[in-house]
Amino acid sequence: MEKPSPPLRKRPVVDRRAWWLSASSATEAQTRFFEGTGADLELADTLVENAVGWMPIPLGVASGLLVNGINYEVPLATEEPSVIAAVSYAASVAARTGGFTAGAAAPIMRAQVFLEHPGAEAAARLEASRTALEAEARTHLASMERRGGGLRGLSLAHLTDLDVLVVRLDVDVRDAMGANLLNTLAEAMTPSLEKALGGKKLLAILSNDASLRPAWAEVKLSVDPERARRIALASAVAQADPQRAVTHNKGIMNGITALALATGNDTRALEAAVHSFAASSGTYRGLSRWTVEGEFLKGRLEIPLALATVGGSVGIHPTARMALQLLGSPDSPTLCSVAAALGLAQNFAALNALTGEGIQKGHMALHQRRTGATA
């Protein structure tokens, strides 16, 4: 009887790669594209489980994004045509009037511990134990505190209908995304929180909600008055119609997500936080607002962004390091500021096309170029 093959997770990475090529019936051309070096395989095996190789995404550069007086060449990893061209066009328009002004709040992220059936008067019990609990939390955050970050808040919320207490630990994570740090903190603090507040742990984990660390960007553009009016009205439509808002925000994220991917950041956490923020009023709305102010079209974008410049795959992936070096090796707030300006630039380019000749003329020209298709 033929011995069954071991599961993928128990096979060497080179064997998993050979299995993939066989199981996917790869052609010679596909195999040549897929082939990589041994170092590529080793890195893939470090980053993910059951690695078989890589799924390369094109990496391009959007040129001339002027943010806070600094000219950035912005690396973007995306498979979609027109994204990079749109940003570069918007950047050139913005540069005529001084470019983008942008900023970002301190990088505060939150860990949560959920306790079932907490004791009575949990708020009073927290205050009685606050000094000891905060001191313990700081012992778990010692390395972050040495870098200027650390604990910034300890608070409670009671989900009354569920009889669940939420303990919130707010931490300045500096240039890291902080997921592992926050998860470790939440789990390490759980026994003391159970003892001090009563109840039993249900969950202990970070929140990917990034509303504590918003980034923003503004720009004033000199455009045709009628076009400015139409762009402002289209922006108002995205505030009033949730279905339009979804596509409006997707356009903003075209650039931001591509930058996050190019720099090795967590695109899923980023998107989840952004779309949660867009719905925080109870209605899903467009993230940007455009208004006509005198002779200028003014745009503003406020968006929660948790982008890291150290740790995780940011620190492991060689191309992510190169992308950050191209940006001048920024800290996290600077990267978030550039990302916010990038999103606003992308939004302007999309609205300018939509309220003019339509999105398809330029987009399809680029699509036809890459596919060889004809109209």
Among residues 250, 298, 317, 367, the one annotated as catalytic is 250
- Same-domain status, 310 and 174: no
The answer as to whether 300 is a domain residue is: yes
Phi-psi region of 119 (alpha: psi -120 to 50; beta: other; left: phi over 0): beta
80 is catalytic: yes
For 9-36, how does the pLDDT look when each residue is reduced to its tens digit (9 = 90+)?
A: 888 888 888 888 888 888 888 777 777 6
pTM above 0.85, yes or no: yes
Structure tokens at 348: 């302007």
The answer as to whether 28 is a domain residue is: no
Measured CA to CA, the distance from residue 109 to residue 180 in angstroms comes to: 12
Number of structural domains the chain divides into: 2
- Same-domain status, 126 and 87: no
- Same-domain status, 188 and 250: no
302 is catalytic: no
| CATH code for the domain of 285 | 3.90.770.10
Among residues 160, 175, 207, the one where a domain terminates is 207
The answer as to whether 35 is a domain residue is: no
The answer as to whether 47 is a domain residue is: no
- Same-domain status, 88 and 171: no
Measured CA to CA, the distance from residue 122 to residue 236 in angstroms comes to: 44
**Rounded alpha-carbon distances, angstroms, from residue 277 to 113, 294, 304, 334:** 22, 30, 7, 21
361 is catalytic: no
Residue 176 in this model has a pLDDT that exceeds 60: yes
Among residues 80, 145, 241, 271, the one annotated as catalytic is 80
Q: Which domain holds residue 133?
A: 108-207
Q: Give, to the nearest 10 degrees, the angle between helix 360-371 and helix 332-354.
A: 110
For 205-223, how does the pLDDT look when each residue is reduced to its tens digit (9 = 90+)?
A: 999 999 999 999 999 999 9
266 is catalytic: yes
Please give the mean pLDDT across all residues of the chain. Answer: 92
Measured CA to CA, the distance from residue 18 to residue 148 in angstroms comes to: 47
C-alpha R_g of the chain: 24
Residue 281, CB-side half-sphere exposure with 13 Å CA sphere: 9
The answer as to whether 10 is a domain residue is: no
Among residues 139, 173, 207, the one where a domain terminates is 207
- Same-domain status, 184 and 131: yes
